[in-house]
Chains A and B, each alone.
Chain A
Amino acid sequence: MRVQRIAAVARFELLSVVKRWSYLIATFGLPVFLAVVSGTVLGAQTYFLTQRAAESSQFGLVDEAGVVDAEVFEEREGERVWTANANEVFLYENRDAATTDLESGRLRAVYVVEKEYLSSGEVRAIQSEKTPLLSMRGTTIEPLLRSLLRKSLVEGRLDSDVQERVISPAYFVRSRLGPDGEQVTDVDEALDLLVRTTIPLFLGILLLTALLSASGYLVQTVSTDKESKIVEVLLSSVTPEEILAGKLFGLGAAGLVQFAVWSSMVVFVALTASAALAAVVSIPWQALAVAPLFFILGYLFLGSLMLATAALGANAAESQKLTMGWAMLAILPLMVLVILLDEPNGILGQVMTWIPFTSPLTVIIRLAVDSSGIAWWEVIGAMVVLVVSTWASIRVGARLFRVGFLLTGSMPSLAELWRQAR
């Protein structure tokens, strides 16, 4: 094979794709679109939170049962006020005075500890018509009032340490048992799961999208060549192998640029989220480091098969149908994603690591979710299997490509294909 000819084909194919609006929009527009959408959502959220913060956070408390510890309230301009977590709770002597302030809009809500509180536990929460129910629930006032009541009830009746535990019975310290022993995490379990799975999920989806997108371009270019009847002109100048290699490299480069841009977006989002969530988001550097290599290998493997089978189709629609099977095999890891995210190093993950169709996505997900569970020889092994499979698929692909490229009309039988491909 002549490198210069391959380079000429690759350059032409690369420029043909990257000059298209659809490519530019998909590559650069998608991150911008997501940034605009998430920026708008975050901006709107921040705006409403700020607005709410600016609203009155004053509440009224009427203690009809006489159980609330009045010591916590301090005197301020003739009123008794308890300040907690940016909320101000005014203690009223009776319900009427509190209701008047609620109606005037000074208070967001009034809590009445009913006379029969000790037997019924009932605390009435009264809010004005102006205060949406949801915004009431969103405040932290009720847990604070609960703590106040608990403290008031046990004050002076228990030892101080027991009293403290009644008020705050448990403070959960979360830890994870890993290969280096038990490690404490300060992350909530749900948030931890979300953080651990979101980034790998995104990375995996982007890898697959870029793979299928680049392969899609391959199918498209073969169809264009066949439909435009330029095939014979090409074949009288360069060998099918050179065309196949040129197309693979040219469109692969376009796919790699796309993947790089998208991956940068993931890193950016991860870094931003990391800053926002106080460093609980870990960026899967190992997965990101090997991702380009797995993208290239996965693309060459899948792409050569796609090219060969696409060449057998008479037109774009037929080529797409013929290549759909390969795409389905490649997205298999996404179909079992829940299992992979839950048990990245389980038997399914281990098996799919060795199958060339599924290994790129599986390895990336396993590395991203829990890099400690995948051995280095598994990563190397998956690469070796991919390299060997890619070599074989390019060999077979080039022969099928030669035959398929010139085919017109109906599909030949498999026996005929084999005879002509020899």
Chain B
Amino acid sequence: MGWAADTLLLVGVLDYRGVSKRFGQHRALEGVSLEVTPGEVFGLLGPNGAGKTTLIRIGLDILRADEGEVSLFGAAPNPKTLDRTAYLPEERGVYRRAKVRELLAYLGRLKGLKRVAARTAADHWLERVGLSRVADQRVESLSKGMTQKVQIAACLMTDPELCVLDEPFSGLDPVNLALVTELIEERRRSGQTTVLSTHMMHQVEALCDRVALIHRGKLVVYGQLDEIRQRYSPNEVIVWSAMDLLAFGVQATQHKTGGWRVELPPSATPAAYLNELVRNGLLIDRYEPLVARMDEIFVSLVGGGR
């Protein structure tokens, strides 16, 4: 029983194995392999046209891969597994002439909810995103931000085990951005999986457990977010001290935060170097290893060829 449970845990929610896809002469994806594990928030990153949307579409059986295999909840994507997923595409659309509640109920029905359940879920989620008052208005009468919240509600209304959100934060004001962030956090707390494709790197840092960076159809970086940031960080620390580090013979430059930026010797670790500074009599107010931000990693990996 324990073995079975372990095996189940190891099965990715969404697995890609050597997936390739081309459109005419253009190779959109080339041998991409990655896995989204249960309960995590997975960041799918990459510049525009990198192949992220194609990868998502293949995972959700909207497109078929030319080569490779895709597994959704341990099986090839099929209507049953797709009912356990929801998708908010980047180029999201709505029936503008439909009424808000009717539209949500219809999209819920398409996901397999019964008529009454679909209406109940529509009302509940409109309440959640603060749009109950416009339930009987036509979608065309809503603002862009409100329309986007309707789309997010439509995506989450079936409580999907896997939710793929493509640029869910674009066009949202800070209040609604916080609301959507909270909804994603809530999904993680309840053990539901979310794939997040976004260019907002601070959101990636705040929300994602693991990330994959796609560039020109190829997987460039893939793994734990912290580990990746560490991997791409310079071997540098920032030292805040009232004393002049240069007087101690330390090769340091002033950092914009008011501290000293120090490049560590190749073999030194931040902890060992801190010990050495203290031993040398330096009074340190604050000490922090410099960790690369995701936007820096992004630019350094994909910026060169653009």
Which residues of A are interface residues toward B (Cβ below 8 A)? Answer: 2, 4-5, 8-9, 12, 16, 224-225, 228-239, 406, 412-413, 416
Which residues of B are interface residues toward A (Cβ below 8 A)? Answer: 23-24, 57, 60, 62-63, 79, 82-83, 85-89, 91-98, 106-107, 109-112, 151, 154
Q: What residues on A are CB-neighbors of B109 within 8 Å?
A: 4-5, 8
Residue pair B112, A229 in contact (C-beta under 8 Å): no
Q: CA A234 – CA B109 in complex, angstroms?
A: 11
Residue pair B79, A228 in contact (C-beta under 8 Å): no
Q: CA A96 – CA B86 in complex, angstroms?
A: 102
Q: CA A295 – CA B120 in complex, angstroms?
A: 39
Q: What residues on B are CB-neighbors of A8 within 8 Å?
A: 106, 109-110
Which of these, B62, B106, B151, contacts A235 with CB under 8 Å? B62
Q: CA A16 – CA B96 in complex, angstroms?
A: 12
Q: How far is the CB of A204 from chain B (nearest CB, A)?
A: 34
Question: Besides A228-B95, A229-B92, A230-B92, 16 other CB < 8 A contacts?
Answer: A8-B110, A9-B110, A12-B106, A16-B97, A16-B98, A225-B93, A230-B93, A232-B92, A232-B93, A233-B87, A233-B154, A235-B60, A235-B62, A236-B60, A236-B82, A237-B107
Q: CA A302 – CA B82 in complex, angstroms?
A: 31
Residue pair A233, B85 in contact (C-beta under 8 Å): no
Q: What residues on B are CB-neighbors of A225 within 8 Å?
A: 93
Q: CA A228 – CA B94 in complex, angstroms?
A: 6
Q: CA A224 – CA B88 in complex, angstroms?
A: 19
- The answer to whether residues A236 and B62 also contact, given A8-B110, A12-B106, A412-B24 and a CB cut-off of 8 A, is yes
Q: CA A16 – CA B102 in complex, angstroms?
A: 11
Residue pair A236, B86 in contact (C-beta under 8 Å): yes
Q: CA A229 – CA B23 in complex, angstroms?
A: 20
Q: What residues on A are CB-neighbors of B93 within 8 Å?
A: 225, 228-233
Q: CA A9 – CA B95 in complex, angstroms?
A: 13
Residue pair A236, B87 in contact (C-beta under 8 Å): yes
Q: What residues on B are CB-neighbors of A4 within 8 Å?
A: 109, 112
Name which residue of chain A comes closest to B154, CB basis. Answer: A233
Q: What residues on B are CB-neighbors of A236 within 8 Å?
A: 60, 62, 82, 85-87, 89
Q: CA A12 – CA B96 in complex, angstroms?
A: 14
Q: What residues on A are CB-neighbors of B92 within 8 Å?
A: 229-230, 232-233
Q: What residues on B are CB-neighbors of A228 within 8 Å?
A: 93-96
Which of these, A2, A9, A234, contacts B79 with CB under 8 Å? A2
Which of these, B62, B107, B110, contacts A232 with CB under 8 Å? B62
Q: CA A229 – CA B86 in complex, angstroms?
A: 16
Residue pair B95, A234 in contact (C-beta under 8 Å): no
Q: CA A416 – CA B22 in complex, angstroms?
A: 10
- The answer to whether residues A237 and B110 also contact, given A2-B79, A232-B57, A406-B62 and a CB cut-off of 8 A, is yes
Q: What residues on B are CB-neighbors of A5 within 8 Å?
A: 109-110, 112
- The answer to whether residues A406 and B95 also contact, given A5-B110, A237-B110 and a CB cut-off of 8 A, is no
Name which residue of chain B comes closest to A1, CB basis. Answer: B79
Q: How far is the CB of B101 from chain A (nearest CB, A)?
A: 13
- The answer to whether residues A232 and B87 also contact, given A237-B82, A406-B62, A416-B24 and a CB cut-off of 8 A, is yes
Total number of residue pairs linking A and B with CB closer than 8 Å: 69
9 A–B contacts, CB within 8 A, in A order: A4-B112, A5-B112, A8-B106, A228-B95, A232-B57, A232-B62, A233-B88, A233-B93, A416-B24
Residue pair A232, B91 in contact (C-beta under 8 Å): yes
Q: How far is the CB of B247 from chain A (nearest CB, A)?
A: 62
Give the interface centre of A8, A9, A238 by most chain B CB atoms within 10 Å: A8
Residue pair B91, A229 in contact (C-beta under 8 Å): yes
Q: What residues on A are CB-neighbors of B107 within 8 Å?
A: 233, 237
Q: CA A231 – CA B93 in complex, angstroms?
A: 8
Q: CA A229 – CA B147 in complex, angstroms?
A: 13
Q: How far is the CB of B303 from chain A (nearest CB, A)?
A: 27
Name which residue of chain B comes closest to A7, CB basis. Answer: B109
Q: What residues on B are CB-neighbors of A239 within 8 Å?
A: 79
Q: CA A224 – CA B93 in complex, angstroms?
A: 10
Q: What residues on B are CB-neighbors of A413 within 8 Å?
A: 24
Q: CA A228 – CA B139 in complex, angstroms?
A: 12
Q: CA A231 – CA B90 in complex, angstroms?
A: 12
Q: What residues on A are CB-neighbors of B24 within 8 Å?
A: 412-413, 416
Q: CA A233 – CA B88 in complex, angstroms?
A: 7
Name which residue of chain A comes closest to B80, CB basis. Answer: A2
Name which residue of chain A comes closest to B139, CB basis. Answer: A228
Name which residue of chain B comes closest to A408, CB basis. Answer: B91
Q: CA A406 – CA B56 in complex, angstroms?
A: 14
Q: CA A224 – CA B140 in complex, angstroms?
A: 14
Q: CA A147 – CA B86 in complex, angstroms?
A: 90
Q: CA A225 – CA B97 in complex, angstroms?
A: 12
Name which residue of chain B comes closest to A234, CB basis. Answer: B110
Residue pair B112, A224 in contact (C-beta under 8 Å): no
Q: CA A230 – CA B154 in complex, angstroms?
A: 12
Q: How far is the CB of A245 from chain B (nearest CB, A)?
A: 13
Q: How far is the CB of A145 from chain B (nearest CB, A)?
A: 70
Q: What residues on B are CB-neighbors of A12 within 8 Å?
A: 106
5 closest cross-chain pairs (CB), A and B: A229-B93, A230-B93, A236-B87, A237-B110, A228-B93
Q: How far is the CB of A13 from chain B (nearest CB, A)?
A: 10
Name which residue of chain A comes closest to B60, CB basis. Answer: A236
Q: How far is the CB of B223 from chain A (nearest CB, A)?
A: 27
Which of these, B57, B85, B94, B112, contacts A230 with CB under 8 Å? B94
Q: CA A230 – CA B98 in complex, angstroms?
A: 13
Q: CA A2 – CA B112 in complex, angstroms?
A: 10
Q: CA A248 – CA B92 in complex, angstroms?
A: 24
Q: CA A230 – CA B94 in complex, angstroms?
A: 6
Q: How far is the CB of B218 from chain A (nearest CB, A)?
A: 22
Name which residue of chain B comes closest to A226, CB basis. Answer: B93
- The answer to whether residues A233 and B89 also contact, given A12-B106, A412-B24 and a CB cut-off of 8 A, is yes
Q: CA A233 – CA B57 in complex, angstroms?
A: 11
Name which residue of chain A comes closest to B114, CB basis. Answer: A4
Q: What residues on A are CB-neighbors of B151 within 8 Å?
A: 233
Q: CA A238 – CA B109 in complex, angstroms?
A: 10
Q: What residues on A are CB-neighbors of B57 within 8 Å?
A: 232, 406
Q: CA A232 – CA B57 in complex, angstroms?
A: 8
Q: How far is the CB of A279 from chain B (nearest CB, A)?
A: 49
Q: CA A56 – CA B203 in complex, angstroms?
A: 97
Name which residue of chain A comes closest to B97, CB basis. Answer: A16
